[in-house]
């Protein structure tokens, strides 16, 4: 199926040639819990084939938004369409076009892997003529084909998560929702899960909508929406977001720091400082700046390092705090309103 | 399509129509049975408990109670123990929804593109089926307590067990809809299951009781299931009129003995109301 999709443009993350069909359209969605505003009017669109990431601290309103999109929670106001169906008026149609993987497992430990998939396939109306084939396919996609007849209770956390991803795909949904797909997993398993997600996007014409509060995971997305305090702060590709806050950091190891700082100021009007033993300064496009630096600095350089801004820097720029600090302050808000957390959540 | 291109399941606009609801009922029902047969220990323990009641308690009490011919206290207790078996199995199955909620599987069912009512009906059908299977196992012991293996009697008892199993499972699902933690299970056992069992007339006749107790027995829906089953048993054994009067007095309202049809009608009514309330509880979106 990947051949049918136009190539993804690295700069915008959107498919280049023509605008892909919009699969998720959200318009001014609001949800209150009592007097607490969990989601305060978010609007965005997600095109077919995108990996769209909702990035924000715990309690920012990510799960509440996903629950509304999955028709598990009614919005206080606003509207949203998934694959063209209204989440309030056509919830059953929305549900048959989405796959869901929750933070906590929702498997039956007393059934085998294939019985769990069978249950789901039948419940979602996957016809008997195609069921075996789909089951085989999704099991091998997540590398569990040889464990199909084992009880799920004997699976590790990572295997369960993979099985849930497989289950979420068995009915060929248009959109796969992954709520914190890698939370509580070890780094190696997390890396594997991401491989599956990428492979998936390539193999099935599917849109992936995920939430995460790991900065490094957001890098995998074609576009990211940064969410804080129930509102969208910004939506763009990871690269564009990083470019927007601009400057790359350049660190130089030099024999003579003072002379180098003076030369930088004289030749390029740049203000540099010594940080952790390196002469450090910021420029808009670090990689293009390096040749100019070599040509005009007139000072010996023993090593050079150019680093791009991280999403941590992006989050910091837009919200004025690190994601860690944001979690600490929203934790209080969430504890006072248990309904904002999901039943059986972490 | 290239060889490695996956088969994409046809897009089905399922959801809301009768066919997908019936399919959901079947899938949920089958899961209950799979789990029931996989848990051998539970099968065994739910068999041993009524056997103990019938053979140990029944034999112990038999010397205190009136008897005649092949009919003794165990014969009297038999239909009560059938009802007890159904009661325990049905409520246990129904309340497993609380486990499903705790371990997340309920969510998998509730997000499916089918009406919630179908899930509830499937759960009730599954619980009722396991309860009837467990009850049918007890039925095999009839010969040990002087109850003949008459096909018409066995079919009557089986049919009555089906009705009461549906009513009790629906009641259990309704209770489970309001329970969010497993700990409440103990409370349900102590405050609902045990009183229902004791007041049902399963282990002593509901006639000739002191006023307060006889009022309570009449409020117990299970009593209206035990009595028809006992009447069925007593039409198939030879008991003197005096013995019949002592052991098979039945339930009376102001001196009027309720006909079997009305008694079963009450059980059916309980089933319908409990099922409707359970469906309503689960259909309420947040």
Instruction: Tell me which residue of A247, A240, A244 sits closest to A223, measured CA to CA.
Output: A240
Suggest the residue from B15, B26, B33, B36 to mutate for an interface test with chain A (most A CBs closer than 10 A): B15
Nearby residues of B191 by Cβ (< 8 Å), 6 or more positions away: none
Using an 8 Å CB-CB cutoff, list chain A residues near B96. none
For residue range A164-216, what is the model confidence (pLDDT) as tens digits? Answer: 999 999 998 999 998 888 777 788 878 888 888 888 788 777 899 998 877 77
Across chain A, what does the average pLDDT equal? 83
Q: How big is the CA angle at B103 (ends B99 and B109), to the nearest 5 degrees?
A: 85
CA distance A45 to A293: 42
CB contact under 8 A, B108 and A104: no
Cα atoms in the 13 Å half-sphere on the side-chain side of A53: 27
Looking at residue A331, what is its pLDDT? Answer: 52
Looking at residue B285, what is its pLDDT? Answer: 55
Using an 8 Å CB-CB cutoff, list chain A residues near B105. 106-108
The beta-carbon neighbor of B7 closest among A70, A96, A130 is: A130
Looking at residue A18, what is its pLDDT? Answer: 61
Local confidence pLDDT in tens for the 286 residues of chain B:
333 444 455 444 445 588 889 999 999 999 999 999 998 888 888 899 999 999 999 888 888 877 777 788 899 999 999 999 999 999 988 888 888 988 889 989 989 999 999 999 999 999 999 999 999 999 999 999 989 999 999 999 999 999 999 999 999 999 988 887 878 877 887 899 999 999 999 998 888 889 899 999 999 999 999 999 999 999 998 888 888 888 888 888 888 999 999 999 999 999 999 999 999 998 875 4
Looking at residue A38, what is its pLDDT? Answer: 93
Provide the chain B residues 255-274 that lie in CB contact (below 8 A) with chain A: none
CB contact under 8 A, B113 and A109: no
Suggest the residue from B3, B4, B8, B16 to mutate for an interface test with chain A (most A CBs closer than 10 A): B8
What chain A holds in terms of domains, given with CATH numbers, is 2-240 (3.40.50.300), 247-307 (3.30.70.260)
The beta-carbon neighbor of B6 closest among A108, A123, A137 is: A137
Using an 8 Å CB-CB cutoff, list chain A residues near B13. 93, 96
The beta-carbon neighbor of B14 closest among A96, A109, A137 is: A96
Q: What is the ipTM of this complex?
A: 0.86
- B77, burial (CB in 10 Å: exposed 0-12, middle 13-18, buried 19+): buried
The answer to whether the beta carbons of residues B145 and B75 sit under 8 Å apart is yes
> Is B182 an interface residue toward A (CB < 8 Å)?
no
Dihedral sign of CA atoms A288, A294, A297, A301 in order: positive
CA distance B251 to B259: 9
The beta-carbon neighbor of B31 closest among A100, A104, A119 is: A119
| Stretches in chain A below the pLDDT threshold 50 | 1-16, 332, 335-346
Instruction: Tell me which residue of A17, A51, A43 sits closest to A208, measured CA to CA.
Output: A51
Cα atoms in the 13 Å half-sphere on the side-chain side of B81: 28
Beta strands in A57-104 (DSSP E): 77-82, 85-86, 98-101
Cα atoms in the 13 Å half-sphere on the side-chain side of A118: 14
User: What would the two tokens of residue A294 be?
Assistant: 């070599």
Instruction: Tell me which residue of A25, A3, A5, A24 sits closest to A16, measured CA to CA.
Output: A5
């Amino acid at each position: 199926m990947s051949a049918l999709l136009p190539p993804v443009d690295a700069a915008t993350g959107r498919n280049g040639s023509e605008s892909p069909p919009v699969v998720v359209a959200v318009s001014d969605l609001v949800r209150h819990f009592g007097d607490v505003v969990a989601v305060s009017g978010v609007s965005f669109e997600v095109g077919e084939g995108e990996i769209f990431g909702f990035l924000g601290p715990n309690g920012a309103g990510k799960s509440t938004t996903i629950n509304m999109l999955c028709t598990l929670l009614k919005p206080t106001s606003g509207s949203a369409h998934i694959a063209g169906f209204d989440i309030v008026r056509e919830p059953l149609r929305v549900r048959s076009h989405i796959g869901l993987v929750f933070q906590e497992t929702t498997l039956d430990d007393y059934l085998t892997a294939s019985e769990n998939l069978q249950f789901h396939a039948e419940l979602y109306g996957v016809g008997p003529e195609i069921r075996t084939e789909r089951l085989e396919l999704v099991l091998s996609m997540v590398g569990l084909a040889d464990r199909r007849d084992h009880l799920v209770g004997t699976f590790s956390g990572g295997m369960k998560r993979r099985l849930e991803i497989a289950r979420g795909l068995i009915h060929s949904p248009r959109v796969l929702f992954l709520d914190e797909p890698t939370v509580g997993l070890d780094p190696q398993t997390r890396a594997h899960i991401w491989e599956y997600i990428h492979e998936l996007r390539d193999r099935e014409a599917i849109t992936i909508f995920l939430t995460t509060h790991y900065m490094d995971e957001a890098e995998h997305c074609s576009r990211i929406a940064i969410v804080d305090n129930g509102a969208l702060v910004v939506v763009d590709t990871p690269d564009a977001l990083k470019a927007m806050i601009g400057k790359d950091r350049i660190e130089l190891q030099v024999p003579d720091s003072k002379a180098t700082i003076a030369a930088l100021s004289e030749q390029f009007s740049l203000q540099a400082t010594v940080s952790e033993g390196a002469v450090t300064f910021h420029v808009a496009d670090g990689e293009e700046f390096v040749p100019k630096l070599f040509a005009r600095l007139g000072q010996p350089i023993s090593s050079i390092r150019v680093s791009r801004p991280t999403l941590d820097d992006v989050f910091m720029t837009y919200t004025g705090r690190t994601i860690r600090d944001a979690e600490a302050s929203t934790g209080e808000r969430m504890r006072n309103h248990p309904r904002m957390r999901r039943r059986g959540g972490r | 399509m290239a060889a490695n291109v996956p088969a994409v399941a046809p897009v089905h606009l399922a959801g809301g129509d009768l066919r997908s609801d019936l399919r959901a009922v079947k899938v949920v029902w089958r899961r209950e049975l799979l789990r029931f047969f996989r848990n051998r220990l539970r099968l065994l323990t739910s068999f041993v408990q009524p056997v103990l009641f019938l053979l140990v308690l029944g034999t112990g009490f038999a010397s205190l109670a009136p008897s005649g011919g092949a009919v003794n206290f165990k014969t009297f207790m038999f239909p009560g123990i059938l009802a007890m078996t159904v009661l325990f199995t049905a409520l246990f199955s129904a309340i497993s929804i609380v486990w499903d909620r705790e371990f997340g599987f309920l969510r998998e069912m509730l997000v499916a593109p089918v009406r919630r009512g179908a899930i509830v009906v499937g759960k009730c059908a599954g619980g009722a089926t396991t309860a009837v299977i467990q009850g049918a196992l007890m039925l095999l012991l009839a010969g040990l307590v002087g109850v003949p293996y008459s096909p018409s009697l066995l079919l009557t008892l089986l049919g009555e067990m089906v009705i009461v199993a549906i009513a009790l499972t629906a009641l259990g699902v309704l209770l489970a809809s309001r329970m969010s933690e497993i700990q409440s299970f103990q409370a349900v056992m102590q405050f609902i299951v045990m009183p229902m069992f004791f007041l049902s007339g399963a282990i002593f006749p509901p006639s000739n009781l002191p006023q307060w107790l006889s009022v309570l027995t009449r409020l117990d829906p299970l009593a209206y299931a035990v009595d028809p089953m006992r009447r069925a048993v007593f039409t198939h054994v030879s008991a003197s009129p005096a013995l019949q009067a002592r052991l098979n007095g039945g339930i009376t309202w102001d001196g009027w003995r309720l006909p079997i049809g009305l008694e079963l009608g009450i059980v059916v009514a309980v089933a319908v109301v409990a099922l409707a309330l359970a469906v309503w509880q689960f259909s309420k979106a947040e």
